[in-house]
Structure 1
Amino acid sequence: MGTFGVFNSTSKDSATPAHGLNPCDWTRPEEEFYAVIARAKPIIQTVVARHRTDGRPLTWRLIHSIEGEVLTELNSSKDLQPAYINLIKHSGVFNYPVNDDPVDFGKSSAIACAFSMIYDVFHRVH
């Protein structure tokens, strides 16, 4: 049957969380989300710094690539829940292009969290 949320429906005890943590020890959802953001910031800064030294502009292809590197790093940590990591990535709803055109969000007020953070760091003047 697979997983639903943080509970593993294929475990022997359907009330046992898939990650094995005690639910009483969980932080509030917004704290978990902000923990993901806090962990993502230095990762984004490191990855963006590496790409900025290449002298390339921030293209749609590059922002997708940077996002992938950041998500891979976040998902490798054992203390962050994947459900909260997924909240910062882009969804297929916005249908962002994957090409070599410069990133332009236009007048959009709905931008994926990771994309917004990457864009800000990439264009920050040091």
Structure 2
Amino acid sequence: MKEQDLAALRFQAAARDLEHIVRHIAARYVVQGVPLTWRLLHAIEAEALADLGFASRHEPDVLDLFKRPEDMTYPETDDPATFGRSNALPAAFAFAVAAYEDAQLEQPRDAIRRQGSVQRPSSGQR
């Protein structure tokens, strides 16, 4: 296998790992009903990139690929995080946004499941 192929595999493995970590962190906030703000995005990114397991499983040069460049700045406010049509997001931001979007899609499904499990009175009961 070529060195370039190995590097791509290492990057993919690290990206999957980071996505898992970010989704786990974001899930804590989703279940609490905390909205996704710029400040929260920064906090999720910082926690994920500081994860000791993540750092120990991947080489430093691969980890550096997930650090946001210094010139890629975003607000650090409590305003809702919105990106419009931009798709140039740091990996941790993108994974957190995806986790929140997935949770929003799940809410209607969960409500339907709960409705289906509610016992309806039989025709003789009122």
Report the TM-score when normalising by structure 1: 0.70
Q: Is the CA contact (8 Å cut-off) linking 1:61 and 1:100 kept in structure 2? A: yes
Mind listing any 5+ residue stretches in structure 2 that lack a counterpart?
107-126
Q: 1:112 and 2:90 equivalent?
A: yes
> Number of matched residues?
102
Greater C-alpha radius of gyration: 2
Larger relative contact order (CA 8 Å, sep ≥ 6): 2
Q: Is the CA contact (8 Å cut-off) linking 1:48 and 1:118 kept in structure 2? A: yes
Return the match for 1:90 from 68, 71, 77.
Answer: 68
Deviation at 1:100, TM superposition (A): 0.5
Measure, in 2, the Cα distance between the counterparts of 1:80 and 1:60.
27
Measure, in 2, the Cα distance between the counterparts of 1:119 and 1:37.
15
Q: Secondary structure at the match of 1:68?
A: helix
Q: Is the CA contact (8 Å cut-off) linking 2:18 and 2:54 kept in structure 1? A: no
Q: Deviations over 1:30-69 (max 9, x none)?
A: 1111111111122122111101122121001001101111
What percent of counterpart residues are identical?
32
Deviating 4+ runs (over 6 angstroms): none
More helix as a share of residues: 2
Which piece of structure 1 moves more, 104-113 or 74-83? 74-83
Measure, in 2, the Cα distance between the counterparts of 1:38 and 1:76.
11
Measure, in 2, the Cα distance between the counterparts of 1:42 and 1:88.
14
